[in-house]
Structures are given as structure tokens and as C-alpha cells.
Amino acid sequence: MTQMETEADTRANRIDPVLAAAGWGLNGSRVHRETICPGRIQSGGKRKKGLSADYVLTHKGHKLAVLEAKRAGISHRDGVGQAKDYATRLGARFAYASNGISWYQIDMVTGAEGDLSLPFPTPEDLWARTFPDPNPWRDRFGAVPFETDGGKWELRYYQHNAITAVLEAVAKGDRRILLTLATGTGKTSIAFQIAWKLFQAKWNLSGEPTRRPRILFLADRNILADQAYNAFSAFPNDAVTRIDPDTIRKNRGKPPKNASLFFTIFQTFMTGEGEPVYTQYSPDFFDFIVIDECHRGGAKDESEWRSLLEYFAPAAQLGLTATPKRKHNADTYAYFGEPVYTYALRDGIEDGFLTPFKVRQMASTIDEYVYDGTDMVVAGEVEDGEAFTESDFNTRIIIPERELARVREFMVQIDQRQKTIVFCASQDHAGLVRDLINQVKASTSPDYCHRVTARDGEVGNQHLRDFQDNEKTIPTILTTSQKLSTGVDARNVRHIVLMRPINSMIEFKQIIGRGTRTYEGKDFFTIWDFVKAHENFNDPEWDGEPLDPEPPGPPRATPEQTGDPELSGDELDNEVDDGPRQKIVVQLADGKARSIRFIGSTTYWDADGKPISAADFLSRLFGDLSKLIADEDQLRTAWSDPDNRAHFLKQLEDYGYNADRLEDIRQLVDAAQSDLYDVLAYVMFTKPPKTRHDRAQAVRESRMSSFADEIAELLLTILKAYEATGESELATRKLGQFLTARYGSVGESKGKVGELALVRDAFRRMQLALYEDRVTS
């Protein structure tokens, strides 16, 4: 009987009644199936397999246990590994596995585990075991449901974990709390839910639920404060206010006080006529303060804003940051303490909540420059033999032709319809690059590329809002210096171009975060690295594993100029004023300008997210292939049958070689027009690869006569598609598409080519001929 039982039967007839008898689903408890994560994004809109927990047992807002079900016909212990994994991810204290007959339990805190005798623990039992020390605020927070806009969306598991961790710290009386979550994972949404719970539970510093709290959201940029303010729309209108110059001016110099949620930026709070604005509030006015991007703000020891946080010392202060502890932000961690919860960039990419990325490393013959007297000095003074490196360009010296060469190089390689952010060395450099992009663009729109820097003010902010609007295609490219490195929620960014050095790992991660947000049809984004920023991947604590970069090509000549752009010799200023020192402006001699060359180099990443050379990468591929294939005959057998080939490709994917990585290998061995079979045979057996055309032509010349005329015509169509696209056209699932395209439907094809079994046999025989030994010799 149990052998015929499905897992669904076991759940419905054996497990569900046991949980119901224990009171789960009643009195504030909840039983639900939870999709933990959708799985890493792969090419072609595909994903790795996601994770889903069969049962999550929640009581008073806390996920107390995970239960993994197996059908009655197999061992209940088969679910133990999954149960532990899911409980760890969800932050549940207990993990259970069951086949409906036997039960197994694990305490994830003490490590105690063993078989469980029914009855199953009640919600109150698990609550008491999870929280042996009662806390009334924990209960009050748990009684407040999350605000999900009427059930239209559900919190992601890590967001739930982060909120729970913060509220638990608040309930215990902690006053300095830190969350470290990768850019794009919804820090503002998390802050909203925390504020919602505090607001509805009437938590405040008095310790008694006698009034609603006063909560301050503090950012260092207006765009961040605006985004947060708009995200809190579920609160009553009279509960939310902005502390900004207009509001203060309308209130005759006094900041607003009659609200529950206040949004402002450090700069506004620190200014004022005479005393700073914040001193018009008593030190204990705010109960809870959220500091966005806290590693940049008042938590830094040397920050002039630190006094503001110290002034409001009685308040519970929550710091939000995307960066783990580094030497550059150690004072932030010293102020807040270790994070109560961390969700890293690597986690977000692997779970499928963030978009993977590729890196294109762009080296050129003018990455460094030595003045030799042959070029024209347009402004400033330079001595013969004086050398300049990347950090000098566009801060000490400007070579317009160099910037034009870089712009042309990436513009000719990207899809110019895709949204792109270019990071430049200064505001003036961003203006120069904007103009160069608009001079070489294919688009006819004068608004194709705009600069967004501090100097562009509200006009720049409007360009940014238009860029962030996924319904708008113009502007397509934004240039910037510092302003867009953080806090810009633009989901459909496909390219990030680095034209200035990246000074720290923190900044590097923030810039990468501009592209990680997911968007329909966005399988990855590309980082165009002209400044060797990829060396940040060598950092021992780098946690975001990128896709393999685009493969290298031969050096390419920059297209000849069709006319020099009109560039002024005005001195360039950094976004941070570096004084009136005049920059050197050099115009390259014509021959030098035309001889600039670029080459794209490749770095690959191993399973641990560490960079390795192309040679090491191919060596690893050879080792992995050797585990699957003993000799060339075995490779041919695995490859020449479409079903065997699909199984072999799945094995390669399990070793980490997905479609993207296999395509990179094809390019790496300079066999772009060859079948992947030839690529693998070359890596393993050093056989010179044939092109797909050569293989197809050999079959056309020697084998078509063995097929009936109509079937032969069909196979010739398939061979043509194979030549153009590759071995993916030979997959079993493609046969039906070819039949439908040629005859209208698979059913209608029978009258022309016969039974489907005959067509399948011909399809397979053609592939055996395509890969047989005499063709490849």
C-alpha cells in the first residue's frame, strides 16, 4: 500500500492530520509551504533549481520549525538533510523529517536529534522551547501581521530573518543594531516592515505601549530619503513627514514635530540659522532611528555627522549597510556592533534574487602615458619623460583622444539600446564622456546620454528618474562621477562602464550593485573594466562570484576619427573640490591617436569565487571531462545521439559548465564556428576542430541519398540551422519545431514524411553520420 502512495498522499492523509491535531493552523499559528528561493539566473531565461520547504511552522510571527516530507514508501531519514538546510536558511530553531509513519527531529541550536514519538509538539510547546525567557515586546511584535498590501506579495526569507533579528534585538533592549545586506535585496522594504511593527505595537522608549513611536529615517542623499519616503505609503498620511528646507521655511524656521515617521538627510539636519536643525528636537524625541548606508554617514569616527547620532543617544539606532566589515569601515562596526543578520551579494546571486554579471577587462596601448615632446600641450605644463598612470587621467592630465577611443571601444561592442551607467573620474570628465557618447551614438535622440552629478541639480535628477522608468528607453546612458554609485534603484541596467579607478572594495560592491537588480529577460549584466577594477576580486573577502567574462579577441584598431570632437581646454574639477590647480591638456599627434589598440583579456572564476587564469580554467575542464569520458569513442557515443547528448550536457552542468561557460570555452580555443563536440575533443585529445560547415557539408555530399526525398529536404533544413546556430538545433525537442515550421503541425507532417518514428530515426541517423569518425579525420 505504502509503495503506491505518492508524497502528496502522504502529506494529505498522514502528516496534515498530525499537525492539525497538534493545533497548528489555529490561534495565531500558521502552516504553509514556502518557496525559499527561485534559483540562480542562467542564460535563456532559465534558472538553477530553486528551493521549497514542504512545511514551515510559524507562530506569533516567528518561523519555529521546518518539516520535510517524503512519501510513505521510503525512509523518513531521506528528508533530514533538506530539513536542516531549510531550517538554517529560514532561521528556524527546529527541523523535522517524516514519511508520515516515522518522524525525526533536530534542534538546530543544541544539535540534539533523534526519532520523535507522536504527538507532534503544539505551537505553544515549540514557542516555549524556542524562547524559554518570556518577553512581552516579542509577543506584541508577533501579534502585528506584516503589511503585504492585502497579500499581494510575500517577504523573502532573508528579509523575514532580518526583520525578526532586529525586532528581537529591540525587544531585548539593544540600542545599537546593524544589518548588512547586499545592494538590491530590499533594505528599504525591511526598514518599512520594522517601522510598521514598531508603529502598530506602540513600542517606544518608555517601555510601555502607551503611544506610537517617533521614528527617524536618516540618509545622506535626497534621492535615498525620497525613495524611502515613497516606500512608506501604507502609513496614514498624517503619520509621515519630511524634514526639508521647504518644510522648515514654511514653519517659520521650525522643523515638524507632529508626526510618527520623519525623513531627512544629514545635511539638512546639520545646518540651520545659528544652531543645527537637529538641536530643536530634545535628545529623547526620537525612539528609533534608521541610518541608511551607515558606513558613509554618521557612524564613521571622523564624520562631522557623528555628533548627530551621539546627540540622539537614547534612541534605538539601526544601521543599514551593504558592505561587510573592512578596514575602511571598521568604525561603523565599532559603533553599531556586529550585524544581527547578514545577507551577502554571493547569497543573493546564488538564490536568484540578484542578477549575475560578466566582466570584460579592457586593456589598451594608452592605459599609461609618457610625454615625449611629440604631442601638443594645449594647457598646463609637462616635462619630457613625465609619466602618468590611471589615477592621473582626468584629474592631473586630460587626453581627449584617449577618452574618445575608450568610448568608441565599448559603444561598438554593446547593444546601444540597453541601459548603461558610466562611472567617470570627475564631474567634468562625466560631461566630456557624455558628449563623446552622444557624438558616436547610433541613436537620433539628443537625450540619448545625459550626465547626472551633483552639479546637474534637479535637471540631472529628472534625467535619473526617466532612466529609472522601465517604460522609457531615453535616456539610455547616464554618465556620473560619485552620485550614482549608491542608492539608485534602476532595475534594467545591462552595462556598467568603469572609466575611473575604484578606491575600495566597499565602493566596488556598491557600483556592482547598480546592475544586480533583476528584470524580466535580464540574464546577466556586463562590467566594462578599463581601470583594472577586476583586481578587487582578489580580495580575500570578496563574496560575489561573477560569471565567466567575455573571451578575449585579437587587438582591434580604434575606428578612424571622422572629425575631431570640439573639446574645450577648460580645467576639470573633481566632484570633491581639489583646488584651482590647472590640469594638463594634451592633444595626441595624429599617428598616435590612430594607433590606439584595445584587447579584452579574460579572467575566470572557480567554484569558490576566486579568479584563475584561462590556462588553469582549461586544465580544470580537462580534469572534469576525464571523470566523464575515457576516450574519443566514448565522447562520440555520448554526443552523436541527441538524448545521450542531453544527458551528457546535464552532467557537465552539474560540474559547473552551463551554456554560458561552454560558449566561453568555444571562444577561448578560437573555435566560434565549430561544434561543441570539436571543442571538447580539442581540449581532451588535441584534435584540430572542424567547423560546423565542414561537418554539415560532408553529410550533404555523402548521406542524403540514403533518405527519402521529403525527409532529405527536412534534414537539409535542419543542417542549415545547425550550421548557423549550433548543436542546440539537433536536440530532440527541436524536431517537433522543425516539423511544425515546415508543415504547420506535427500531425500534418505525417502525410508528407510518414510516421513520427520514421522521422526520428532519420534525425538520429543523420546525427550519427555528422559525428562519425571519417568526418572528423
Give every residue of the chain whose pLDDT is below 50, as ranges: 544-580, 607-609, 775-777
Q: Which helix (H) or strand (E) holds 564?
A: none
Indicate the angle between helix axes 157-171 and 80-90, nearest 10 degrees.
60
The distance from CA 447 to its chain's CA centroid, rounded to whole angstroms, is 28
Q: Are 177 and 318 in contact (CB under 8 A)?
A: yes
Q: Which residues contact 216 (CB under 8 A, 6 or more apart)?
A: 262, 263, 264, 286, 288, 289, 290, 312, 315
Cell 590647472 belongs to: 582
Spatial distance between the Cα atoms of 742 and 736, rounded to a whole number of angstroms: 10
Spatial distance between the Cα atoms of 260 and 662, rounded to a whole number of angstroms: 55
Nine cell digits for residue 486: 549608491
| Helix (H/G/I), strand (E/B), else coil: 498 | strand
Q: Are 268 and 245 in contact (CB under 8 A)?
A: yes
Sign of the Cα torsion 743, 744, 745, 747 reads negative
Cell 543544541 belongs to: 110
729-769 pLDDT, tens digit each: 999 888 888 888 888 888 888 878 888 888 899 889 999 99
Q: Are 452 and 514 in contact (CB under 8 A)?
A: no
Q: What is the C-alpha radius of gyration for the chain, rounded to an integer number of angstroms?
A: 31
Return the number of other C-beta atoms located less than 10 Å from residue 112's C-beta: 9
Cα–Cα distance list, 306 to 266, 301, 310, 612 (Å): 10, 7, 6, 42
Q: Which residues contact 393 (CB under 8 A, 6 or more apart)?
A: 369, 399, 402, 425
The distance from CA 23 to its chain's CA centroid, rounded to whole angstroms, is 41
What pLDDT does residue 554 have? 40
Closest CA to 190 of 354, 56, 319, 325: 319
Q: Which residues contact 65 (CB under 8 A, 6 or more apart)?
A: 55, 56, 57, 87, 92, 93, 94, 95, 96, 126
- Transcribe 189-230 into DSSP letters: HHHHHHHHHHHHHT--TTSSTTSPPPEEEEESSHHHHHHHHH
What pLDDT does residue 490 have? 75
Q: Where are the alpha helices (DSSP H) in 478-550?
A: 505-512
Amino acid symbol at 738: F
Return the number of other C-beta atoms located less than 10 Å from residue 16's C-beta: 17
Q: Are 227 and 240 in contact (CB under 8 A)?
A: no
Q: Which residues contact 251 (CB under 8 A, 6 or more apart)?
A: none
Peptide bond before 475: cis, by omega within 30 degrees of 0? yes
What pLDDT does residue 103 have? 95
Helix-then-strand count for the chain, H and E: 29, 28
What pLDDT does residue 297 have? 57
Spatial distance between the Cα atoms of 416 and 477, rounded to a whole number of angstroms: 9
Q: Where are the alpha helices (DSSP H) in 290-426?
A: 306-311, 330-336, 345-351, 400-413
Cα–Cα distance list, 310 to 204, 257, 316, 656, 763 (Å): 19, 20, 11, 50, 75
Closest CA to 73 of 10, 126, 154: 10
Q: Are 637 and 404 in contact (CB under 8 A)?
A: no
Nine cell digits for residue 304: 562631522
Closest CA to 545 of 494, 607, 602: 607
Cell 545547425 belongs to: 722
Spatial distance between the Cα atoms of 628 and 648, rounded to a whole number of angstroms: 8
Closest CA to 412 of 547, 524, 553: 553
Spatial distance between the Cα atoms of 725 and 727, rounded to a whole number of angstroms: 7
pTM: 0.72
What pLDDT does residue 370 have? 84
Closest CA to 490 of 459, 521, 469: 469
What pLDDT does residue 600 have? 56
Looking only at the bridges linking them, the beta strands covering 29-37 and 51-59 are antiparallel
| Helix (H/G/I), strand (E/B), else coil: 331 | helix
Q: Where are the alpha helices (DSSP H) in 481-613?
A: 505-512, 590-594
Spatial distance between the Cα atoms of 88 and 323, rounded to a whole number of angstroms: 22
CB crowding 516-550: b at 16 or more within 10 Å, else e: bbbeeebbbbbbbbbbebbebbeeeebbbbbbbbb
What pLDDT does residue 551 have? 43
What pLDDT does residue 406 have? 87
